[in-house]
Structure 1
Amino acid sequence: MKTFMKLVSFSIMTSLRGHRITFPVMWIIFTTAWAVKMNEDMEACLEVIPSLQYSCFKRNLSYIPTTIPPSTQHLDFSFNDLTTLQRDTFPRLPLLRHLDLTRCHIQHIDNEAFFNVRNLSVLILTGNPVKYFGRSSINVLEKIYKLVLADIGLFFLDRFNLRNLTNLKELKIGTNRLFSLALPTYAENFKDFTLLDLHTNNISVIRTVHTSVLRQMSSNLTLILSGNPISFIETGAFNGLYLREINLLNTISSTTTREALGGLSGLNVKKLKMGYFTEAGRIQMNPDYLDSICFINFQEIDFHHSTYFKLPSHILLCMSNSSKIVLTNVGIINREHVYFPNLEEIVVVKGKMAILPDVLLSHQHNLKKLVINYNHQTTEFKSFDDLPSLDYIDLSHNELIMNCCDIEFSGIPKLRYLNLSENARVKIRGLGLLNYPSLEILDLHGTEVEIEHDVAVMQNLKNLKTLDLSHSQIIFKSIVIFYGLSSLKELKMADNSFAKGIFGQLFSSLTALELLDISNCAIEDIPPTSFEDLHNLKNLILSGNKLTTMDFLTGLSLSKLKSLHTDNNHIASISPNVLQNIPVDILVFDLSFNPIECSCSQTEFISWIINHQSVLKDPHLISCKSSSLNSRVINFDPTHCVHKKRVIIIVSLFAVVIVFLLAALLYKYQFYIHYCFILLRGYRMSRQQECSYDAFVIYSSKDETWVLNELVENLENRPPPIQLCLHERDFQAGKSITSNIVDEGIMGSRKTIVVVSQHFLDSSWCQFEFELAQSWLVLRRNAGIIIIILEDVEGNNTRRLFGLHKYLRKNTYLKWKGNVVSNVRFWARLRKAILRN
């Protein structure tokens, strides 16, 4: 569309060359050019939220489109090419709050670069190789609260002035080359400052003077030093400093850890995050390197290690005042009880505890959340004791073999969440779950579950809302297994089995149930009474079974159903009385991958499918079983089953279709029909017409500079002169473009020169001219086409243009290389090709 508009505009200007241009004509030309510019800009950027948010991400732009309205508040201009920021780079955007200039190749930022966007709150300059920073360039952004200067090659913070940024909350300057964490003294005025991100810099030494400004700032500050090669911290550098969080992941080296961490003594921090990540086996850490954390006052600790690390007992004692402990790849070797008076949450991932729970986990009176996942060698389970506040237990992915649960969790009176999924085996005793009336979520999926004596093991779980027994290898034999679950809302039991005759009464007590998943259970039939008590059921998943009918829908109990999944079953048809009982408010009905019988006996069912595609999930995946081509049901035409006047209807429909297709073909290909008449007219006229030009040049307007400076200069202006036909110079004004191409260009020239470039392949007019030239070559055997490859183009692109790829394979072409030696040979060969009869 853009290319066409440019051609139209250019044609108007060409046709007016040499004539007096009136004001109306000037206005037409101006508005046409403005429309083209507007169209290009609007296509360049995506309007995410009208008038408020725009994304120009990765559009290869070298300017900010002026069509972005002044009301814009969020602009993503990342991954473009700006190089220099100066006062006129940005249009006036007084309401712009968020500006992302990530990786825009910015090297130069003037003092007044952000003058027109001075109300910014967020500025992101990540990944720009800035060589020059105007000292006041950022200082004008007095309302900014988040500044990201990551990966810009920064050596010193005093490279620019941030004195006026008193509202600054977050400063991210990671992945640079800073040698110090010291902030300038004026940063003491940043009263709301909450984040200083210095990750992956060159900070190796931290002295007391470097933290002096941090002491004057908010105690709510997060300091990220991860990835820095810290080898020395001066004693007292952090003494008396209050932080919300400090991140020391992958900072302290294995040889200087004790000296480095010693300087952290006296630090007061809410969350301490530390650890070391290396390739397995590369570095063996000395356990003593953690001694200095005993002199740090922290409430939460998050300790990660890339390889297994044994935590010494005395270090565990240093964590005794923590409210939250997270350990990854860390083993606890202590076998004596340690009381944590403030501990509310503990997370142990990829540790090594052969027996759960460890002696340390009992008698923690304030513990509320316990997570132990992916522990190695964990197969045995012992009971918890004296955990009065604990309500959340996640012991998933541990290969546990345990009995459950009358004794094991007896010391947890407030247990609300219990996750034993993805373990080896759990046996639920007859009275196993009677003592946990507060339990709301029980997850056993992926664990082999054995239920003792097939009794009502859950009858006391009156507050249970979610129960997941999926993939648990259970064979449900007793109808009383779910008795007592009066509050249950979600029941997942996929990939299990049911004893014969049990299904009809299994769910009778689940009156509050809203979601039921019984997929992949090899169910062949569901009795109509199975769901008659599930008046609140909204989501029913029956995928992957062996159902042939859906008679369970005949009752009125499932009136609130919103989604029904019966995909991958053996359903061939659904009777009309069942279709009438499908809830009118249903939003999703999945019938895909069923062998639907597409026959005249099922026209009502097929018509229902066709008329309810908005409700059906993936209607194009509902296929006919009897068709050898596995055709879609939505493509089946039930009208062919009407016996009365069938022949007349079929003939009439056939005639209508033929007429419609002919009309559509005539309409769709009217351009090509007109194109054929032009060629035939030209062929008849060519017998009485002599050629006016030696060669007609087909090229993109974007390659005009090369054509005028090189092609015209070397052919027309060098002896012997060769007369070229150029569309912007030689086409007759007032004559249609297609007629000019045939009469003046192809028919009026002995040869045709095609200048191939990426612009040529992108131009619809160039493609049209080339197709005319090919057609003319077929009509007139003596016509010749000379191909010039102006720039390398990919083979896939040439295949898009009909005949070009094939022509290049079978014919010799010229290639422009642009050097002196090649040019002499190029022009000699081109002249010879043009002058040859």
Structure 2
Amino acid sequence: MHWEPALECDSSKPLHLLFPVLEQLVYKYKLEARSTEWNFNMSHLSKLQLLEVHNLPEVPYGSSAPEMQSLFMDLPQVEALRMVNSNIRYISAKFFRRKCKLKQLVLEKKAFLELDSDIQDQILGQMPLRYLHFSSVTFRCDCSSAWLIDWAIRRKEIYVFGLEHADCLDVQRREKKGNYLSFIEQNCSQDVGFLLFVSTSSVLFLLISLPILKATCGSELLFLIYILRAWWHGLLNNRKGQRFEYDAFVSYSSQDQEWVLQHLVPNLEQKGPPFLKLCLHNRDFVVGKAIVDNIMESLYSSYKTICVISHHALNSSWCSLEMTLATYRLVAEQEDTLILLFMEHISRYRLSAYHHLAKLVKRKAYLDWPQEPAAQAAFWDRLRKILKQHCGGEEPKL
């Protein structure tokens, strides 16, 4: 646009509401007129289409003068705006209020300039702006203004000129640090395309791999999730100094429930001392809570875990999960928290399919349920001694 104003005003003369139809204006503030009051508010010029402002003074600190950028609000018809040495140090959304037809904006100044990041798409993106010119402008030397570079690249319909010649100012030290673009490239540049590629590829890989894992090893994957949850649960619980709600959590198959209720529970809970407290899934699990959550809470609120092992238990997926979680707790806490109680003879070949259980049988002792009634009283005595050790004393050998 050719900057040829229809009217040139002197800042020593106040600008009143005498020009309601004024369309073009050049306002030049005379430097010697320092005593002049702030009388150059342009906000009322609703017909103004071209505005050029020169050498506006810097607002003194603590002055009662209005905020500089508010003097140029509400210019609904302005299409071209040029500001030369205007001493507007900060431009926010307020500056662009009701400038809905602005097509050209020229900012020429040697002083410091800061642009609010909120104006990039909320304001400039809603205006018919086509030409943005920075001349002898100095920006802040930090990454808060880096958005301007990215915005200028994205908005191809707007011609942005002068950024390559802009300077960079260290605000704290009040000294220039060289070229603005060079500072942004060296300190704030990010390969956005590469980051988007990596994140998109990761999401696609996850979406593709999950159905494959579910189809090929769904149960193993589910067990892995449960074990990870148990690991996290173990991290949150410190065994030392912990008060346990139960003496033992009993893991058993529902087909072995009759033996548990008729033999195990009466001999440990009703005969003593000590009178022990057991946690049974059919009696003590919280109704409505997920089974896995019930299992983990029962495991970690019990001093020990008794695994009642039979052919029925080895064929039960829930018993396998309970044994796996109890085994993990044994390894993670480095405490002898697991008691293996064999209801019947299980061959080595049968146990080999349960890797962790087979290792435990080889490494530590275990209890066998005696079929002879004469040996059963000694069996219960040994089991009680093991379970009461959290009250004090050394752990007896099985």
Q: Give the alignment's TM-score, normalised by structure 2.
A: 0.42
Instruction: Select the structure that is richer in helix.
Output: 2
